[in-house]
Amino acid sequence: MNARTVRRSVALDRHPGWCAAGHRCNLGEHRADPLAVDIPGYGRALLTRVRGRDGREHAEVTLTVALADAEPHARAQLLTLAADLHTVLRRATRAGAAPRTAA
């Protein structure tokens, strides 16, 4: 295990500075207060930082998107959303990679 993959152990008696504490981290994980991003008329995203029982951290994202009233428009929206989520996941994963060093 190198320095980048070392996991922090979850000590529920010591909350990290970003943890909302209280009832949110009683299930073996620490959870921040969710960050809400509202776009009126379009939807809402809730982002929550979580440290799991194994010490690994992740972002939990809940999206609420307004869909068209009729098919096939709603289905097309879902397909677009799925494709864009793929891009978001790739970009977010790359952003967490260790910076390259000059050889």
Q: Note the residues at the interface with Zn ion (CB under 5 A).
A: 15, 19, 21, 25, 30
Residue placing its CB nearer to Zn ion in the complex, 22 or 99: 22
Residue placing its CB nearer to Zn ion in the complex, 26 or 80: 26
Nearest residue (beta carbon) to Zn ion: 25
Cβ-contact 13, 21 below 8 angstroms: no
Side-chain half-sphere CA neighbours of 103 within 13 A: 0
C-beta pairs of 63-71 under 8 Å, 24+ apart in sequence: 66/41, 66/42
- Residue type at 84? D
Least distance from C-beta 33 to Zn ion, angstroms?
A: 11
Least distance from C-beta 13 to Zn ion, angstroms?
A: 9
What are the structure tokens assigned to 72, written together? 């096939």
Residue placing its CB nearer to Zn ion in the complex, 48 or 77: 48
Query: Which DSSP symbol is given to 32?
Result: P
Least distance from C-beta 102 to Zn ion, angstroms?
A: 39
